[in-house]
Amino acid sequence: MLLVFVELCRYPLGMTGGQIQDEDISASSQWSESTAARFGRLDLDNGDGDGAWCPDIMSGPDGLKEYLQVDLRSLHFITLVGTQGRHADGMGNEFAQRYRIKYSRDGSNWVGWQDRKGRQVIEGNKNAYDVVLKDLEPPIIARFVRFMPVTDHSMIVCMRVELYGCEWLDGLISYSIPDGHQMIYRGLDVYFNDSVNDGASGLGQLTDGTWGLDDFLHSHIYGMWPGYDYVGWNNKSLPKGYAEMIFEFDHVRNFTSMKVHCNNMFSRGVRMFRQATCYFRSGSDWEADPVTFRPTVDRVSQGARFITVSLGDRTASAIKCRFHFSDLWMLFSEVAFQSGKMVSTLLLGDDPTHKVDESNTRILIGCLVAIIAILMTIIVIILWRQVWQKMLEKASRRLLDDELTARLAVQTQAFSSNHSSLSSESGSTSNSTYERIFPLCSDYQEPSRLIRKLPEFAQSTEHLGPSTSCRALATSVSDGAPHYAEADIISLQESSDSSTYSIAAVNMNLFAGTDSSMREFPREKLTFKEKLGEGQFGEVHLCEAEGMQDFLDEDLSLEGNRDSPLLVAVKTLREDANKNARNDFLKEIRIMSRLRDPNIVHLLAVCVDTDPLCMITEYMENGDLNQFLCNLKLNEAADEDRKDQEENEGESMISSGMKYLSSLNFVHRDLATRNCLVGKNYTIKIADFGMSRNLYRGDYYRIQGRAVLPIRWMSWESILLGKFTMASDVWAFGVTLWEIVTLCKKQPYSQLSDEQVIENTGEFFRDQGKQVYLPKPLCCPDSVYNDLMLSCWRRNAKQRPSFQEIHTQINQGTL
Ligand code: AMP
């Protein structure tokens, strides 16, 4: 390539089109398999907007280091980048508002890109839909590029990206030139430094694809200083009478010419060079015989121009050129090389200095033909595999759709015909596959049979083998404990002889970075008072914490005398917890430590230095909202006005907490009255972030691994498609509202068995008006049911209200 024309060099480099292979896209971390690096391809058709790269920023100690890396396999001139978020057909809202770019030519030396004013952060997406394109000014020459979202750790970000440019055929990987000098022209400071070369990059203004104007005092880049476009030298400051420059290339090349863009404003003492003398190096030493070139001196035109220096087809991997002054100043804005591949020179033997004998040539040709044949075979195999894989994917997707539709159709018929005779007993007598395996809490079910229809699930059970999968389930059932660790089955996969691990306490660097406020509390200062309850991780105890006030942030206005111990709730990880449960517990700590809102339960401190791991939260003296409402005596509930007002305040507090979570793009995944706690003055706060740690780990085998799901609170798309989003949290909020209004006297859809609940979600999927909604509670105002609850259960997730809207609606008292 002779020169890169920035305006033309804007081709998509293959994230969208698939030319960049999956194995060339990698990342520092990912939330789950379904948000792995290979899904980080920009999607111009926008499709269903699903699949993107989402780093595990919430878990990582330093989200700022997360990156999506693209290997372009060869040097490219990159002029433009495009980014897009993830909307998952209206159900997702993750995008990178800001990001940085790092690049490398060799994969080990990384340079942070910065614009011409030194700014590194690029403004990214404003929503999850639109593609935002950003010109890289200056462009970069690189093989490896990293996109690094800039977040405050609290937001989930997802990215899909594309790079635009063209292949960098010059092969130039770095140059070294004398530092540019400063001119004072009629009292004006004119700087001729190489401003986009920060040293680390090795390339700069001479390869940025931008050429200087005739008048060097001006720049076509707005807002830059006089002389910005040029790198220049003063004759007096270089006593040898020339400026020496060394250009290093990626490999040995056969050079035809070099083009140098020079200023020639001789009225101001600037002229193009008088002579260029170039030396060549293929190995360690410079060759003795240079090429010398003398351009015709132009004493008429002051226009800046390219001068072509003939390099005489010399072979080299480095060129050293001495440009001799013909006036006081010499200014360059661009240098480019034209070279051919070495192989052709050797084969054609047209250069007398590099002739090889005939037999060598034949061997070389033989080798090349063999290599090409092998490469062709590999390419054919890869292509064949890809086509085959795509066909399989399509076929299985079609199969899934058909099967899902067919199954739902059959089930619906059965469901409709049984519907009139449904009773609460029908659930227990039906031969349900959705057995309750959560003995202490019947709100969580295993929707396994339907989900098993999905290919991912089929694969994973095949992999496990029927006996392993049954054994895993049996373990969950028989040990009677409410196992909640999603990876129990996965750990069984890994270790068939033992389902639990004993793990030594690790002093994790858990609170590096933004979590510095979360501190280790000396566990000997905790005095047990009583057991408050039991959750998936272990028991929750009421304790007195001596000296806890010293551990609290200023913004935590917990009551209590500084000297008297504070009452706190201490959640302890069960002793026999396996590795995954332990990691999940630590992740819940990380998540909670980053949440600060009056309607979210506060994590106060932790004990993670030794086992058992504990998290210390504020004590909510009225327990969980479900029990609280359940225990409300009838006469307490009889005062209708007071009850209405309390309900309204409760709804407002929950929606306020959820509004906060949604502002962080944070999906709770398990909103229900059982996961809200009631404190002093009946303040309600959202708790239990056990499920949210698995955001987007919607892989079905994992759900099967977990084997417990709160199906009566889950949206249809969460159950059938494994999609958990803010909109599915809104659905759960509708159910929670229903629980509050009915004072938790009944389970949602109590007349339906678990299987029928899942069949009903199929009706939402089919959308033929046969879906059953939770009924309007007796004392519930029409406006609350019609305008709020039903809107939370809209089939189309995009049409469900946001938490912001719900909160406003409740607080305006329009319901
Ligand atoms: P969890 O493990 O979070 O599901 O908690 C189990 C039970 O312990 C809850 O249902 C509550 O009854 C009780 N509990 C948990 N955290 C607190 C708290 N901060 N204050 C009072 N009770 C709590």
**Is any atom of ligand 1 closer than 6 Å to the C-beta of 623?**
yes
For residue 646, tell me if it sits in a domain: yes
pLDDT at residue 461, as a whole number: 33
- Other CB atoms within 10 A of residue 413 CB: 11
Are residues 70 and 165 located together in one domain of the fold?
yes
Contacts 24+ apart (CB under 8 A), 265-268: 265/214, 265/215, 265/216, 265/302, 265/304, 266/299, 266/302, 266/327, 267/302, 268/185, 268/216, 268/329
Which of 169, 199, 220 represents a domain boundary (last residue)? 169
Q: Is 625 in the pocket of ligand 1 (CB under 6 A)?
A: no
To test the ligand 1 pocket, which listed residue (540, 541, 689) has its Cβ within 8 A of the most ligand atoms? 540
Report how far Cα 59 is from the mean position of its chain's Cα atoms.
Answer: 12
Ligand 1 centroid from CA 785, angstroms? 29
Q: What pLDDT is stored for residue 549 in this prediction?
A: 83
Output the CA 590–ligand 1 centroid distance in Å.
Answer: 18
Residue nearest ligand 1's atom 8 by CA: 533
- Joined tokens for residue 195: 């401003």
Q: In the listed set 341, 374, 404, which residue is the last one of a domain according to the structure?
A: 341
Report which ligand 1 atom has the smallest distance to the Cα of 538. 2
Same domain (yes/no): 247, 289: yes
CA of 209 to the centre of ligand 1 (A): 63
Q: What is the pLDDT of residue 642?
A: 60
- Report how far residue 749's alpha carbon sits from residue 650's, in angstroms, rounded to the nearest whole number: 22
State whether the beta carbon of 438 lies less than 6 angstroms from ligand 1: no
Verify whether ligand 1 is closer than 6 Å to residue 457 (CB atom): no
What three-state secondary structure class fits 766? helix
**In angstroms, rounded to a whole number, what is the distance separating the alpha carbons of residues 121 and 136?**
12
Residue 204's identity, in one-letter code, is G
Q: Does 491 map to a domain?
A: no
The answer to whether 484 and 437 have CB atoms below 8 angstroms apart is no
How many Å lie between the centroid of ligand 1 and the Cα of residue 614? Answer: 13
Q: Do 186 and 230 reside in the same domain of the chain? A: yes
- Per the structure, the count of domains in the chain is 4
Any ligand 1 atom below 6 A from CB of 624: yes
**633 and 609 both lie in a single domain:** no
Alpha carbon of 478 to ligand 1 centroid (Å) = 24
Residue nearest to atom 5 of ligand 1 (CA): 535
CATH of residue 48: 2.60.120.260
For residue 572, give its domain range. Answer: 510-618
**C-beta of 615 in contact with ligand 1 (< 6 A):** no
* pLDDT value for 178: 94
**Predicted structure pTM score:** 0.49
Q: Give catalytic status of residue 215 as yes or no.
A: no
State the distance from the centre of ligand 1 to the C-alpha of 687, rounded, in angstroms: 8
DSSP bridge partners of 76: 142, 167
Pocket flag, ligand 1, residue 617 (CB < 6 Å): yes
Same domain, 203 and 234: yes
Whether residues 690 and 545 fall in one domain: no
Nearest atom within ligand 1 for CA of residue 535: 2
Of the residues 670, 699, 729, 754, which is catalytic?
A: 670
Do 609 and 653 lie in one domain? The reply is: no
> In the listed set 579, 594, 618, which residue is the last one of a domain according to the structure?
618
Which residue has the least CA distance to atom 15 on ligand 1? 540
Give the per-residue pLDDT at 286.
95
179 and 164 belong to one structural domain: no
Q: Residue holding tokens 């399989």?
A: 392
Quick one: 71 and 144 in the same domain?
yes
**679 within 8 A of 685, measured Cβ to Cβ:** yes
List the CATH number of the domain containing 307: 2.60.120.1190
Phi, psi of 380 (to 5 degrees): -60, -45
For residue 413, how far is the Cα from the chain centroid? Answer: 42
Which atom from ligand 1 is nearest to the alpha carbon of 537? 2
Q: Is the CB of 652 under 6 A from ligand 1?
A: no
- CA of 620, closest atom in ligand 1: 20
d(C-alpha 404, C-alpha 759), whole Å: 11
Cα 763 to ligand 1 centroid, rounded to whole Å? 35
Peptide bond into 482 cis (omega under 30): no
Mean pLDDT of successive 10-residue stretches along the chain, which has 815 residues: 61 91 93 85 73 75 77 93 84 86 92 89 90 90 94 78 90 91 91 77 84 89 85 94 94 93 95 96 93 92 94 95 96 91 38 43 80 88 77 51 43 38 31 27 53 39 32 28 25 26 28 54 93 85 91 61 83 85 84 90 92 94 92 60 69 90 86 93 88 39 49 89 87 95 91 87 89 92 94 95 93 73
Could you tell me if the CB of 677 is within 6 A of ligand 1?
yes
* Angle 73-79-83 from CA coordinates, rounded to 5°: 85
Distance 630 CA to ligand 1 centre (A): 16
Assess whether 606 and 647 both reside in one domain: no
- Residue at 501 is within a domain: no
Q: Ligand 1: does its nearest atom lie under 6 Å from the Cβ of 513? A: no
Q: Indicate which CATH number applies to the domain containing 549.
A: 3.30.200.20
The alpha carbon of 482 and the centre of ligand 1 are apart by a number of angstroms equal to 14
Residue 385 lies in a domain: no
How do 329-341 and 275-281 pair as beta strands?
unpaired
* Ligand 1 pocket test, candidate residues 529, 548, 621, 624, most atoms within 8 A of CB: 624
CA distances (Å), 722 to each of 72, 395, 733, 756, 799, in order? 33, 20, 18, 18, 19
170 lines ligand 1 (CB under 6 A): no
Smallest CA separation from ligand 1 atom 13, residue: 533
* CATH number of the CATH domain containing 782: 1.10.510.10
Strands (E), 641-702: 676-678, 684-686
Does ligand 1 have an atom closer than 6 angstroms to the CB of 688? yes
Question: Which residues face 260 on adjacent strands?
Answer: 307, 335
Q: Is residue 711 part of a domain?
A: yes
Q: Same domain, yes or no, for 547 and 649?
A: no
Is 399 domain-assigned?
no
Is the CB–ligand 1 distance for residue 295 below 6 Å? no
The answer to the question of residue 519 being in a domain is yes
583 & 639 share domain: no
